[in-house]
Amino acid sequence: YGLQDCYADLRANVKDLYDTEIESLAAIGVSAMMHGYMAFNKKEEILVPFRTWRNTNTGKAAAELSELFNYNIPLRWSISHIYQAILDNEEHVKDIDFLTTLAGYIHWQITGQKVLGVGDASGMIPVDPETKTYNAEMVDKFNRLISTRGFEWTLLDILPKSLSAGENAGFLTPEGAKKLDVSG
């Protein structure tokens, strides 16, 4: 894991600079891509390979959503990725139980929480600055747009919860600790 390499480097730097080992941490932050597409089923299995923010096959979806929302929706946003998968009749879409970005995936893997900070959440679909969560009008328009497709989910069913700065986003689990540091 790249996470293990980063954490090992942090431990080595603390040891070199302060001649001490890390024994506990009050908080830790891990940064990753806030755009992209990682879709999982109910068994928490990834349904298609990770689609990064650099994936440019979402032009049709981004254009249609920009018109529908009357708001510029970039190709890299998760909403463009999922809608393009719908337009392309990709088989996996019906099985989506959770949709996230790389940032959300890493957070989920180390804390067990399916959440994103509001800044990262805004890389999935626009966030309402008043409610600090996904724009309800756009979510509703998207749900109506796909309502005839027969999916068992609506958009809010599958997106990570959006949290404001300072809200508790979870705690490192024992399994998550091992993903950071093999010693746990």
CA 36/CA 139 separation, integer angstroms: 18
Task: Please choose, from the candidates 104, 101, 114, 119, the residue with its C-alpha nearest in 3D space to the C-alpha of residue 38.
Answer: 101
The per-residue pLDDT for range 83-139, each reduced to its tens digit, is: 999 999 999 999 999 999 999 999 999 999 999 999 999 999 999 999 999 999 999
pTM above 0.95, yes or no: no
At residue 105, the 3 state secondary structure works out as helix
Q: For 6-48, how does the pLDDT look when each residue is reduced to its tens digit (9 = 90+)?
A: 889 999 999 999 999 998 888 877 777 778 899 999 999 999 9
